[in-house]
Amino acid sequence: MNVRFGLRLGKGGRKMPPEALELVATRFRALGEPMRLRILQSLESGEMGVSALTETVGSTQPNVSKHLRVLQDAGLVKRRQQGTSVYYSIADARVFELCEMIRLRLRDRLEAQVGALNARLRA
């Protein structure tokens, strides 16, 4: 039998308190911007400096810096300074599992929609 995870805290089956809910929401929200996903995507192959990231994602340096701050506050990236350069890296690669789960569910949904559309066209 599949274990059912849930929005619970602790072993008592208590529901999440509002503060915890806010923290979870904040982390989801950090993943809810395409530019930040692009940054994470770029970092997947390894540590990168801000200038390199800026060029890779095709944005401006201040914008990338700001997004990196959001990602760091959410605990998604780590910061390492060396001289005048700052290198960012993925704090926990499991974040990509989250993205993959979302991506697979999206694909399933799109396929279901295509199937429904085909069924209607045959009718």
Nearer to its own copies, 7 or 121 (CB): 7
Closest CA to 50 of 71, 31, 33: 71
Euclidean distance between CA atoms 16 and 119, whole angstroms: 42
Nearer to DNA, 16 or 86 (CB): 86
| Residue linked to tokens 């959001």 | 70
User: How does strand 85-90 pair with strand 48-49?
Assistant: antiparallel
Residue 93 binds which entry of DNA, its own copies, none, CB below 5-8 Å type-dependent = its own copies
Residue 118 binds which entry of DNA, its own copies, none, CB below 5-8 Å type-dependent = none
- Closest approach, Cβ 3 to DNA, in A, equals 30
Instruction: Dig out the tokens for 12 from the structure.
Output: 């008592």
- Closest approach, Cβ 95 to its own copies, in A, equals 8
Closest CA to 72 of 46, 93, 97, 90: 90
Q: Applying CB under 8 A, which residues contact its own copies?
A: 4-7, 9, 15-16, 18, 20-34, 36-38, 40-41, 44, 75, 92-94, 96-103, 105-106, 109
